[in-house]
Chain A
Amino acid sequence: MGAGRRKSVALMFSGGVDSTVAAIELLSDFDQVHLLTFRNGYGHYGFGRTRRRFAELQARHPGRFVHFEASIRDLFERICLSTLSEDYARFGSAFMWCMGCKLAMHARSIAYCRDNGIGHMSDGSAADSDEMVEQMLLSVSMVHWLYADYGIEYLVPVYGITRDEKRKRLREQGFFLGIPVLDRYLGIQPSCIPGELYYLPYILFNKAPGHDEETVARYISGKRPVIDAYLAGRGF
């Protein structure tokens, strides 16, 4: 391994275009990439697709990837579902389902990194998907500070790479790209029924999703004590 290379990084991994390209990008700076996949237990299915993608990566780069899969149901219930009705009445939008789920994934990722002595965490957030609440620059920035508070550096290796470029790279390397439908590729990553319902008006009608930066910032800040309590309970 070359000088200046770092040992390990963790990556939130679905097997979709963004996280697969992120996994490959991280190989140039890290010896080993831990791929983390989480299930929230509520209409979240199709995890065999993620395992197939992991197998594709493993075949191309033997020994460089580790795959970890876990349920975050309890944590998702604590962060999101326990206050679902109140939050919906307060914010007038259902974005908190997706944001709450992602916060639960981040909290669990912090625990994984701390358990395994990993100092770098990453995901496939991308600027050209910023209509998605968890990929807005504001959300990415707030998550960056969350990791920093636990001594972990948060990286977004494909944030500035366009979707077309990412697809091109995967196609060139012979990865399975799924079935193209309306600017999306189906069958390469898990599906989430509530997430699909939230973004359906955007997909069907080009209607902007119902969240703004101020609301999302308030939601994330409001959930921070729940995340801290969970991590304190794990001894961090």
Chain B
Amino acid sequence: MAGCCGGKNAGRPISRRRYALGMAFLAAYHAAVQAALSGVGMAIPRFRPVRDFHRKYFAHLWREALRKEGIALDGGDCPVDPHR
């Protein structure tokens, strides 16, 4: 990865409103996927590892987003993700 500011838009500041709306969308989308995977996983065993993986991935992603890792708000400096 080209640091936290690599890529076309990576590291560009976003507004607090966009961050709040983004968090709501992120939570809703992942919750819907988790619900679908839980249902499908009961009927089709091959989806169970995917369901478990998604649960772990979302927990990790949500913590990062709450800490605003790699997210620049309101024109502040682009925060360097300490894990990268």
| A contact face: mostly helix, strand, loop, or mixed | helix
With both beta carbons as reference points, the residue of chain A lying nearest to B10 in the complex is identified as A208
Total number of B residues with any Cβ neighbor in A under 8 Å: 41
**Contact A205 to B83, CB < 8 A, known contacts A85-B52, A212-B1:** no
Between A and B, how many residue pairs show CB distances below 8 Å?
88
Q: Is the CB of B72 within 8 A of A88?
A: no
Q: Which residues of A from 34 to 84 have beta carbons under 8 Å from B?
A: 42, 77, 81, 84
A94 within 8 A of B: yes
Contact of A205 among B2, B14, B29, B52 (CB under 8 A): B14
Closest chain B CB from A100 CB (angstroms): 12
Cβ-defined contact, A206 with B33, below 8 A? no
Residue of A nearest to B4 (CB): A208
Q: Which of B15-58 contact A (CB under 8 A)?
A: 18-19, 22, 25-26, 29-30, 33, 46-47, 49-50, 52-54, 56-57
Among the stretches A109-117, A145-153, A196-204, the one at the interface with B is A196-204
Residue of A84, A202, A207, A209 with highest tally of chain B CB at under 10 A: A207
| Contact assessment for A205 and B33 in the assembled complex, using a CB-CB cutoff below 8 Å | no
12 residue pairs of the A-B complex, CB under 8 angstroms, read: A42-B47, A84-B49, A84-B53, A197-B30, A204-B25, A205-B18, A205-B70, A206-B14, A207-B70, A208-B81, A211-B1, A212-B1
